[in-house]
Structure 1
């Protein structure tokens, strides 16, 4: 351990403490009996030879009062007073020569040095320990609890004397300031750019006025002695002037602010802004009134003109059903016209002017877009901004509004200061748009997505499935015997059957699956994010069973079944249009296989479909190219073995594909409607054959 006491090392807290010490201006001041009496009292009450009132400076400890020892100051070293100020409680060393905190202090190590020390910090401003009151003895001893309390009470007396000292300093400063202020006041009073008057509070007589006040009211100074203030006040303003004056005299207010009109000596009217303050020279009641008067005639005329304009604008806005808002960008405050709040159903005093409170009423999904649009205008990227969003109404519902805004004021650096704009209720328009959108994307009978929305959803689900690396199944469903039910029971019952079918399909699938109606009796189902290969089989059987259940159509009972085709992404195709085509081919395969069943798309189906399409294309030109021929199958009477008649059989001799079986092209002819034309041709060929036969057999 270092054998030499170390000097106190100042910190930021110490810097503040020293500032407080210097504010009290007590260092190096002459002796004061008020302090000396306390040190004398401390020695007597605590029976000690030495008492000190010391102040701890940066590098020294200076004694304001010392009893029993002649010491004015000594170097600041830890262990005694320098340590006392570090705590807010008494610091007691019963035997300084053995106590490690103080044993190396110079006042302890010297001959006849200090043995007992007890100090209490002198705390000012409730936080700064600027000095100590301490008692010292040359022999070790203890302090009782009551003696410690006595020392603490004496320290408070010291602080009171210190504060009294500071108060006296302040009084001295105030006296100096007062004299200076009186000089400044006289100069300002006479040269002020506003009218100033001092009047007797009880009589109303003018005690003093400046030249500007006389110019405002139009009277000379000597005329004021007999002038009644109320006589030069406009008749319409007399009553409010009296009310304000009575309140000031009664002590209800110490100051009032008033705008009123004076009638000048030349009978012209002048608007003034008055701030009147009560002055107390003595006693409990004000003795004088100080009035600061500023002419505001031009301002009032401008305000009246502005008010007229605002009334006209207000009338116009009310007629347009728009609300007006005015944003103070710097203070983040917004003014809202009554219409802004009315359209949302809020009382006028319910929404504060804080912009954040207004923004909280905006639907969270709409807020980013509004903030972005507004930011572009604030930054100057756009001249104005426009946005449509939902706002929370007083009844808890969301109401659509259109906001338009424009920056109308910027500071010298270009930063926005003020933005104004309008709010318009567009809820009805949005409802109509939603209805139009629904009609464009949803089936009117079932409320299911229609073909347009189905294709959008299918592309969306394909993209999601691609990203999740799962699979997707598209089911195409066509009702069997629906046309029979629709034709026999009527379109109303047919629509009801379609609606019930939609309900049954929705009941069979999960929420993530999409059921759509393409039109007529044709439905589609998108099974997305498939992870179970058997799921689609299970769902297909479930749907077939549900559709096969009887339909109660009013008083009629109907039965239909379904033919289902299924294509899988990405196994069959990665393209939405191809999936639709493939599921459609699979559905027709189910229908051709006997109906009330389902089939998955296969390449054979596609090849068969392409072959049929190719045949259909060639079939349309086969007659013109004379590619058909008719063969006749004789029918023999077994009784006499004579030919009684013949069956006409059509054959298609294609130049490239060879002979094509009727089993392959007749169904296509029936589907395309060419069967009628082909049938007529066969009939004509048969008639010609009969005619030829008769000519040869029976000439």
Structure 2
């Protein structure tokens, strides 16, 4: 596009302006013209600058979708003020304060943005000489989301990075404590506010909390939030608190993944033996507290070694996954299935007596018989053996129930397999 400002006087004013001026196409954010200060600030030639858009030049505009939201706000709030950072040709950034207005020219809507380079202003350099101004600059420029709370007025400064972390536009987020507190997930709110109060009242050296906070989209992200009182009045009451909020959603996801891997079997997704012990004890404790029955069932796939030997371990894995899939389809939500080791599984049936448990497991046998494993070139059928023991009839302890169920499973396998047997030990094994 040819230069819009071609008339002599206006062109001279345009180029002589000490602030950068950009003419922007609202739909694409493309720079269609700019003055001399604009490309000098960016370390570019005019030709290089006109190849760019707001998305590529403004570090605080993330993508085209983000620009669409900003463009809509510019049209609605004309003129629109934006604090951000421009990308220099050498890869560095510098802070800018941008004022954007909407103009109509020859039937075309355009944005006119005046961008003041804050690094170049005398007032800004003078302001940085004070400690408080350096804090203000840090709040605006640090990578993490930062906040500055005036306890007396209730006003909270939210840094641009904190707003961006939560998906908000620069002018959004009402600067009050309620804006923050109302966004904390309900399951975390009491704990977080108590932690903050503890620090304000002098019971803790600082405020620290990890919690979930609602973003602009309505989704929640995990943050690690830290703060400290930096000013108190003569009565010792907190007057000002500053802090830093860091997005830890990714690390929380990895933490949860590691926790899942530590407690669950990779192949089947079931609780592994170590986690299964803990869950079993919890279920037994629940049955004891509420005086309910609990049936424990040890299940072993019959002749599984021959499956691995004849078809390979990949087919063996497919059989295990097939079995677990059918179990999940057949069992109740309250039932718990765990991989006890190899081809052996532990099944907990709460509030269920042994006879009812046999009916449920026989239903599973029917499912397996009617739905063999599908392989390339054919199908593979398999069976399983099971040993049952019940609380409180066979035992009232964890070890005793496992022993009774294991003894019953051993008898089922010794008696020809493909059987479900109940423990014969009615002596209430301890």
Structure 1 residue 583 displacement after superposition: 1.6
Give 3-state SS (helix, strand or coil) of 2:129's partner. helix
Confirm whether residue 309 of structure 1 aligns to residue 130 of structure 2.
Answer: no
**Are the aligned partners of 1:565 and 1:598 in contact in 2 as well (CA < 8 Å)?**
yes
| Displacement of 1:303 | 3.2
Write the mapping of 1:186-335 to structure 2, written as runs, cut at 5 A: 303-306=127-130, 309-310=134-135, 313=138, 317-318=142-143, 322-335=144-157
Which runs of 5 or more residues in structure 2 are unaligned?
A: 1-17, 19-122
Match of 1:593 in 2: 415
Q: Is the 8 A contact 2:386 2:409 kept in 1?
A: yes
Q: Choose 1 or 2 for highest CA Rg.
A: 1
Give yes or no for contact 2:388–2:409 (8 Å, CA) kept in 1: yes
Match of 2:253 in 1: 431
Give the structure 2 partner of residue 344 of structure 1: 166
Deviation at 1:311, TM superposition (A): 7.2
Relative CO higher for 1 or 2, CA cutoff 8 Å, sep ≥ 6?
Answer: 2
Q: CA deviation at 1:577?
A: 2.9
Is 1:537 equivalent to 2:358 in the alignment?
yes
Change in 2 beyond 3 A, CA 1:503/1:456: same
Aligned-residue offset at 1:513? 1.0
Residue matched to 2:102? none
Distance 1:499 1:605 in 2: 37
Residue from 224, 227, 230 that aligns with 1:405: 227
- The 2-side partners of 1:380 and 1:351 are apart by 29
Alignment partner of 1:495 is 2:320: no
Deviation per CA, 1:200-224: give whole Å up to 9, x if none.
xxxxxxxxxxxxxxxxxxxxxxxxx
Change (3 A) 1:570 1:356: farther
Deviation of the 1:484 alpha carbon: 0.9
Deviation of the 1:543 alpha carbon: 2.0
Checking the alignment, whether the CA contact within 8 Å between 2:223 and 2:246 is kept in structure 1 is yes
Q: How does 1:542-553 map to 2 (within 5 A)?
A: 542-549=363-370, 550-553=372-375
Inter-CA distance 391–301: structure 2 relative to 1 (3 Å threshold): closer
Q: How does 1:4-43 map to 2 (within 5 A)?
A: none
The residue number in structure 1 matching 2:306 is: 484
Task: Give the SS at the match of 1:573.
Answer: coil
Structural mapping, 1:68-87, within 5 Å:
none
Shift of 1:431: 1.1
How big is each residue's C-alpha offset from its partner over 1:55-84, in whole Å with a ceiling of 9 and x where there is no partner? xxxxxxxxxxxxxxxxxxxxxxxxxxxxxx
Q: How does 1:260-659 map to 2 (within 5 A)?
A: 303-306=127-130, 309-310=134-135, 313=138, 317-318=142-143, 322-530=144-352, 534-549=355-370, 550-603=372-425
Aligned mates of 1:419, 1:576 — CA distance in 2: 52
1:443-491: CA deviation from partner (whole Å, max 9, x where unpaired): 1111111112211211111222222221111111000021111111111
Offset at 1:536? 1.0
The 1-side partners of 2:296 and 2:191 are apart by 36
Hey, what does 1:209 align to over in structure 2?
none
2:142 is paired with a residue whose SS is helix
SS in 2 for 1:523: strand
Q: Which secondary structure does the structure 2 equivalent of 1:388 belong to?
A: strand
Deviation at 1:573, TM superposition (A): 2.2
In 2, Cα distance between equivalents of 1:357 and 1:492 = 54
Whole-angstrom distance in 1 between the partners of 2:126 and 2:392: 76
- CA offsets per residue over residues 404-432 of structure 1, 9 Å max, x none? 11122222222222211100011111111
Q: 1:681 maps to what in 2?
A: none
Q: Secondary structure of the equivalent of 2:221?
A: strand
The runs of at least 4 aligned residues of structure 1 exceeding 3 Å deviation read 299-304, 604-607
Per the TM alignment, residue 554 of structure 1 is displaced from its structure 2 partner at its CA by 3.3
Deviation at 1:354, TM superposition (A): 2.1
Question: CA, structure 1 residues 450+338, in 2 after alignment: closer, same or farther (shift >3 Å)?
Answer: same
- Secondary structure at the aligned position of 2:186 is classed as coil
Sort the Cα spacing of 1:404 and 1:300 in 2 relative to 1 into closer, same or farther, 3 A. Answer: closer
8 Å CA contact retained: 2:392, 2:428: no
Q: Report if the CA contact (8 A) 2:339-2:345 is conserved.
A: yes
Q: CA contact under 8 A between 2:229 and 2:240: conserved in structure 1?
A: yes
Distance 1:373 1:578, change over 3 A: farther
Residue in structure 2 matched with residue 21 of structure 1 by the alignment? none
Task: Specify every segment of 5 or more residues in structure 1 that has no aligned partner in the other structure, as ranges.
Answer: 1-235, 237-298, 611-699
